[in-house]
Chains A and B, each alone.
Chain A
Amino acid sequence: MTIEARAPPSQFVAKLRRVLGGQAGWGGFALQILFVAALAWIGYEIVANARANLAAQRIASGFGFLSNTAGFGVSQSLIPYSESDTYTRVFFVGLVNTLVVSVIGIFFATLIGFLIGLGRLSPNWLLARIAGGYVELVRNLPLLFQILFWYLAVLAALPNPRQSISLFGSFFLSNRGFGIPKPVGTVGFEPFAIAIVVAIVGALLLRSYARRQLFQNGRLIKIWPYVLGLLIGLPLLATLVFGKPVTFEYPELKGFNFSGGSRIIPEFVALTLALSTYTAAFIAEIVRAGVQSVHKGQMEAGASLGLTRGNTLRLIVVPQALRVILPPLTNQYLNLTKNSSLAVAIGYPDLFSVFAGTTLSQTGQAIEIIAITMGVYFVISLVTSAIMSFYGWRIGRSMGA
Chain B
Amino acid sequence: MAMRSGRLASAMIAMIEEFRTSLKGFAMKRATLVFTLALAAGLSAQAASAQTLKTVKDRGMLSCGVSQGLPGFSAPDDKGNWAGFDVDVCRAIAAAVFNDPTKVKFVPLSAKDRFTALQSGEIDVLSRNTTWTLSRDTSLGVNFTGIAYYDGQGFLVRKSLKVNSALELNSASVCVQTGTTNEQNVADYFKGNNMKYEVIAFGTADETVKAYESGRCDVFTSDVSQLYAERLKLANPADHGVLPEVISKEPLGPLVRHGDDQWFDIVKWTLFAMINAEELGVTQKNVDEMAKSDKPELKRVFGTDGNLGETLGLTKDWVARIVKATGNYGEVFDRNVGAGSKLGIARGINQLWNKGGIQYAPPIR
Q: A53-B42, A344-B203 are in contact. Are A256 and B178 (CB under 8 A)?
A: no
Q: Would B42 and A255 count as touching, CB distance under 8 A?
A: no
How many residue pairs between the two chains, A and B, have CB atoms under 8 Å in the bound complex?
Answer: 169
- Give A57 to B118 CA distance when docked, in angstroms: 11
* Interface locus among A148-156, A182-190, A233-241: A148-156
Q: How far is the CA of A250 from the CA of B183 in the complex (A)?
A: 30
Whether, in the assembled complex, B15 has its beta carbon less than 8 Å from a beta carbon of chain A, the answer is: yes
Interface residues of A in 140-190 (CB under 8 A from B): 144-145, 148-149, 152-153, 155-156, 160, 175-176
The binding surface of chain B is classed by DSSP as helix
Question: Is B150 interfacial (CB-CB < 8 Å)?
Answer: no
13 contacts between A and B (CB under 8 A): A53-B48, A57-B259, A59-B139, A71-B188, A75-B201, A83-B188, A148-B16, A148-B19, A152-B214, A175-B214, A175-B215, A357-B203, A364-B139
A327 to B322, CA, bound (A): 64
Contact A75 B11 (CB under 8 A): no
- Which of these, B38, B112, B113, B172, contacts A46 with CB under 8 Å? B38
Whether the pair B184, A52 counts as a contact (CB closer than 8 A) is no
A49 sits at the interface (CB 8 A): yes
Judged by a CB distance under 8 angstroms, whether A254 is at the interface is: yes
Cα distance A148–B215 in the bound complex, in angstroms: 15
Q: A57-B259, A153-B8 are in contact. Are A46 and B39 (CB under 8 A)?
A: yes
Q: Which residues of B contact A363 (CB under 8 A)?
A: 139
> B104-131: contact bitstring with A at CB < 8 Å (1 yes, 0 no)?
0000000111011001000000000000
The interface size of chain A toward B, counting residues with CB under 8 Å, comes to: 53
CB–CB A345/B207 < 8 A: yes
For B257, the chain A residues whose CB sits under 8 A away are 57
Of the listed stretches B192-200, B235-243, B246-254, B287-295, chain A binds: B192-200
Is B54 an interface residue when CB atoms closer than 8 A count as contact? no
B257: min CB distance to chain A, Å: 6
Q: How far is the CA of A59 from the CA of B16 in the complex (A)?
A: 35
How many angstroms from the CA of A227 to the CA of B45 in the assembled complex?
69
B171 at the A interface (CB under 8 A): yes
* Contact of A58 with B by CB under 8 A: yes
Among the listed B12, B19, B183, B199, which residue makes an inter-chain contact with A152, where contact means beta carbons less than 8 Å apart? B12
A73-B197, A175-B215, A257-B171 known; A364 vs B23 contact (CB < 8 Å): no
10 tightest Cβ-Cβ pairs between the two chains A and B: A361-B179, A49-B42, A59-B141, A73-B199, A60-B139, A57-B141, A255-B171, A364-B140, A83-B187, A361-B112
B43 interface neighbour in A49, A257, A267, Cβ under 8 Å: A49
Bound Cα distance A126, B201 (Å): 44
Nearest CB on B from A184, distance (A): 20
A256-B197 Cα distance, complex, nearest whole Å: 10
Complex contact A73–B187 (CB within 8 A): yes
Given contacts A46-B42, A56-B259, contact A72 B199 (CB under 8 A): yes
B171 to A256, Cβ gap below 8 A?
yes
Our pick among B23, B30, B141, B171 for the contact of A144 (Cβ within 8 Å) is: B23
Whether a CB of chain B sits under 8 angstroms from the CB of A214 is no
Rounded to whole angstroms, the CA-CA distance of A126 and B327 in the bound complex is 71
Distance in Å: Cβ of A3 to nearest Cβ of chain B: 65
B81 interface residue per 8 A CB criterion: no
Tell me whether B37 is interfacial, beta carbon within 8 Å. yes
CA distance A362 to B33 in the complex (A): 17
Q: Residues of B contacting A360 with CB < 8 Å?
A: 112, 179
Q: Are B115 and A71 in contact (CB under 8 A)?
A: no
How many Å from the CB of A143 to the closest CB on chain B? 12
List B contacts of A356 (CB < 8 A): 30
Q: B216 contacts which of A52, A266, A344, A353 (Cβ < 8 Å)? A: A266
**By the criterion CB–CB under 8 Å, are A72 and B184 in contact?**
yes
Chain A residue at minimal CB-CB distance from B39: A46
Given contacts A156-B214, A176-B198, A256-B171, 15 further A-B contacts (CB under 8 A): A53-B45, A56-B45, A57-B258, A73-B199, A75-B200, A75-B201, A83-B188, A144-B16, A145-B16, A152-B214, A156-B4, A266-B216, A357-B203, A361-B111, A364-B119
A344 to B183, alpha carbons, bound, how many Å?
15
Contact of A361 among B43, B115, B197, B198 (CB under 8 A): B115
Residues B42 and A72 in contact, CB atoms below 8 Å apart = no
Q: Which chain B residue shows the least CB distance to A367? A: B38
Q: Which of B195-246 contact A (CB under 8 A)?
A: 196-203, 207, 211, 214-216, 218
Whole-angstrom distance between the Cβ of A252 and the nearest chain B Cβ: 11
The B18-42 residues at the A interface (CB cut-off 8 A) are 19, 23, 26, 30, 33-34, 37-39, 41-42
A74 interface residue per 8 A CB criterion: yes
In contact, A149 and B12 (Cβ under 8 angstroms): yes
Q: Is A349 an interface residue (CB 8 A)?
A: yes
A389 at interface (Cβ–Cβ under 8 A)?
A: no
Q: Is B342 an interface residue (CB 8 A)?
A: no
Residues on the A chain within 8 Å of B39, using CB: 46, 49-50
CB distance from B258 to the nearest CB of A (A): 5
